[in-house]
Amino acid sequence: MFLLHAMLQATRLEVGDRVQRLSEASRIDSDSLEPPAEAGKPFRLPLYAPREDGRVPQSAWFRVPLAMPADAAEPYLLVVSFRPNLLAYLDGHLLAQSTASNLFSRGDRGFQLGSRTLAIQVPPALLAEGRHELMLRVGAAGYDGATLSTVQVGPVRIMESLQASRTRLLWSRGMVIAAATVLGVFLVLVWAALRKEWIYGLAGVECLLLALLLSPNLLAEAPLPAPWWRLVLDGADVAAKALVLVLVVKLFEAGPPVLARAAVAYLVLGAGIDAVAAWHSFAWTDFSHPWPWWALGSRAAVLALATALLCRAVWRGGGPMRLAAAIVVGLGAWTWFYVSFFVLVLPGRVTVTDINFVGYGAFVMLLGWLLRNRYVASLQRELETREDLERQVRERTAQLEANFAALRESEAARLAVLERERLLQEMHDGLGSQLLLAKMNAQRGNLSREAMVKTCDDCIQEMRLAVDGLSVADGDLSLLLANLRHRFGARIGEAGLALEWNVGDTPLVPSLRGTGGPDLVRIVQEAINNVMNHAKATTIRLSTSREGEDAVVVTVADDGVGMPAGASEGRGLRNIRSRGARLGGTVEWCAGAAGGTELRLRIPLAEPGAGRPR
């Protein structure tokens, strides 16, 4: 209240010894453009004449006496506010006619609720000592009515310094409009990005409505013709009052939700009623009609309810933010009551400065501060949530890495056991069986020295084949077959067989990695042994070939007697088929093109369990 009182005092021009405030006048109703000669009726300024429907509007002249205690030694400035237009004469001399060029300030129009301020510089020659007569003609009351303030006269330098306070108010009003517009646009954009945060949208619309309500005070002319501009302003006024109540309930949680719904219902109803009133040009000051009672009463009730809700919340221990909200909303309600009462209910009694921008600006600042805190809090929560998620991800990653490490260790152990078991099987089936046979022959006395040496060589050969199969761990088929040729070449020659070698470069075969190599060696070894022991052949052909992009084929062929028709598979052939299946391939026997038998081992090039290689 002290701040508001100080601002009001700043708007008031102090009347000193050299500055006169002229309020005594006589009124002559006349449309003449020349000053009338008749005396007129006594009248005390200021004038407020609302639009009167059904009557022919008429201009009015005001004769205002001016007394100069001494000759003017410097130019004087005459300042008067009016609406809609003005003619000014001094002692029969035309001083000024209101035009856009000689208005004191376009923004000053707003400080008298739509009136304009005219500053007229009077030369010293026209202000000699004695009495003078100032004639002012106010145009007929238009859509917004007619007004004429008291007349202030004084030296230019003093009057301009006194008018500086009005300039400060003008800048303050412009700053409030700019701040409300910027904040409103920002909040609406935030709501557009975060649709769930609808409170930002409501607050942004409220700020834009307040800026719109203050804009007529800075506009030289209405941007829309009558009655459209009034339709816009009256609708914005109803919406702004309703949203104050909604924000009090939703943002400050100072009332039950039903009041927010009631505010929305009032917005719809009030906007409709005010639109009808604006369209039919109902006057705000014509209290013989029920509409002004409804318009002012409903707005007063909404503001009073919002203030009462906040005061009740503060009384119940609402905290500093609710206390600040109660003060700001109460200030806005009080300034609105003050301006509305003296301008609309009791017009012309006092000169009223429109100070609604004080309450509007305070409310905009409050909304900005609260929503800034809300926005920062949401960012802080988002940051904390992100940090918590990152912590959980780190913990989960560490847990998964530990699980994977344990799984790798388990898999490595399983593969080691599997390879150990397979190696044991290889040793048992190959080296073990030969050693056991040699032992039995030795016990029976059937093993000569040469046979013992041969048996030991065969055991060593078996061990080397097993080691060669395990030493190639990358699936190199050509290397595995080359090692086998190196180990078996001499035995094949000793058996009287010729070896035709047709093994070319082949890609790495994934299924031959690890323990797959010994399986391939055993398959080819078993096939060669069968040729040497049963085929009665003279030649063995070992070759490899590609089958498209999908597989590689290993072929072991001979020119012997071939497989007898209807022969059943023995243990050796079953072992070959079993080992081929472990490699993910297929084994088939068929008659060779030039006689004999041909074994075809088809091994896929895809990873075990995968599809076609890329």
Q: Is the dihedral of CA 4, 6, 9, 11 positive or negative?
A: negative
Same domain, 112 and 186: no
Same domain, 88 and 184: no
Q: Is the pLDDT of residue 148 over 70?
A: yes
**Does 524 fall in a domain?**
yes
Of the three residues 349, 377, 405, the one that is the final residue of a domain is 377
Same domain, 81 and 179: no
pLDDT digits (tens, 9 = 90+) for 193-244: 888 888 889 999 999 999 999 988 777 677 888 788 889 999 999 999 999 9
CATH of the domain at 350: 1.20.1070
Of 20-24, 182-186, 237-241, 264-268, the poorest mean pLDDT is in 20-24
Same domain, 52 and 132: yes
Q: What is the pLDDT of residue 431?
A: 63
- DSSP helix/strand/coil, 134: strand
Q: What is the pLDDT of residue 101?
A: 40
Q: Is 611 exposed, middle or buried (0-12, 13-18, 19+ CB in 10 A)?
A: exposed
Q: What is the pLDDT of residue 447?
A: 66
Q: At 115, is the pLDDT very low, low, confident or very high (cuts 50, 70, 90)?
A: low
Query: Which of 36, 162, 44 is CA-nearest to residue 92?
Result: 36
Q: What is the pLDDT of residue 465?
A: 67
Strands (E) across 203-283 are located at none
The answer to whether 48 and 147 have CB atoms below 8 angstroms apart is yes
Beta strands 539-547 and 498-502: pairing type? Answer: parallel
Of the three residues 117, 142, 165, the one that is the final residue of a domain is 165
| Phi and psi based region of residue 212 (left: phi greater than 0; alpha: psi -120 to 50; beta: remaining) | alpha
User: Cα separation of 151 and 146, whole Å?
Assistant: 16
Q: What angle do CA 249, 210, 46 make, to 5 degrees?
A: 120
Same domain, 204 and 341: yes
Of the three residues 328, 345, 377, the one that is the final residue of a domain is 377
**Does 259 fall in a domain?**
yes
Same domain, 154 and 205: no
Q: What is the pLDDT of residue 349?
A: 64
Query: Which of 566, 471, 565, 490 is CA-nearest to residue 528?
Result: 490
**Does 598 fall in a domain?**
yes
Query: Which of 128, 144, 39, 132 is CA-nearest to residue 82?
Result: 144
pLDDT digits (tens, 9 = 90+) for 555-611: 999 988 887 766 666 777 888 888 888 888 999 988 877 788 899 999 998 877 655
**What is the mean predicted confidence (pLDDT) over 461-474?**
67
CATH of the domain at 130: 2.60.120.260
DSSP notation for 6-67: HHHHHHSPP--TT-EEE-EEEEEE---SS---S--EEEES-EEE---TTS----EEEEEEEE
Domain that holds residue 348: 167-377
Same domain, 135 and 241: no
Of 32-41, 440-449, 541-550, the poorest mean pLDDT is in 440-449
16 phi and psi, to 5 degrees?
Answer: -100, -165
The answer to whether 295 and 336 have CB atoms below 8 angstroms apart is no
Q: Is the dihedral of CA 549, 553, 559, 562 positive or negative?
A: negative
Q: At 399, is the pLDDT very low, low, confident or very high (cuts 50, 70, 90)?
A: very high
The answer to whether 121 and 156 have CB atoms below 8 angstroms apart is yes
DSSP class of residue 429 equals: I
Same domain, 192 and 159: no
Q: Kindly report the average pLDDT of the chain as a whole number.
A: 82
User: Cα separation of 216 and 222, whole Å?
Assistant: 7
Which residue do the tokens 């109660």 mark?
Answer: 326
CATH of the domain at 583: 3.30.565.10
83 phi and psi, to 5 degrees?
Answer: -165, 135
Which residue do the tokens 């790495």 mark?
Answer: 508
Same domain, 328 and 266: yes
Same domain, 343 and 479: no
Q: Is the pLDDT of residue 52 over 80?
A: no
Q: What is the pLDDT of residue 612?
A: 47
Same domain, 201 and 231: yes
pTM of the model: 0.57
Q: What is the pLDDT of residue 83?
A: 80
Widest Cα–Cα separation across the chain: 167
Query: Which of 457, 469, 459, 454 is CA-nearest to residue 432?
Result: 459
- 465's enclosing H/E stretch is helix 449-471
User: Total structural domains in the chain?
Assistant: 3
Share of the chain above pLDDT 70, in %: 83
Of 127-136, 236-245, 463-472, 511-520, the poorest mean pLDDT is in 463-472
pLDDT digits (tens, 9 = 90+) for 478-507: 888 888 888 778 878 888 888 888 988 888
Laid out side by side, the sheet with 498-502 consists of 498-502, 539-547, 551-558, 597-604, 586-591
The answer to whether 316 and 252 have CB atoms below 8 angstroms apart is no
Q: Is the pLDDT of residue 544 over 50?
A: yes
**Does 552 fall in a domain?**
yes
The answer to whether 209 and 240 have CB atoms below 8 angstroms apart is yes
Same domain, 100 and 173: no
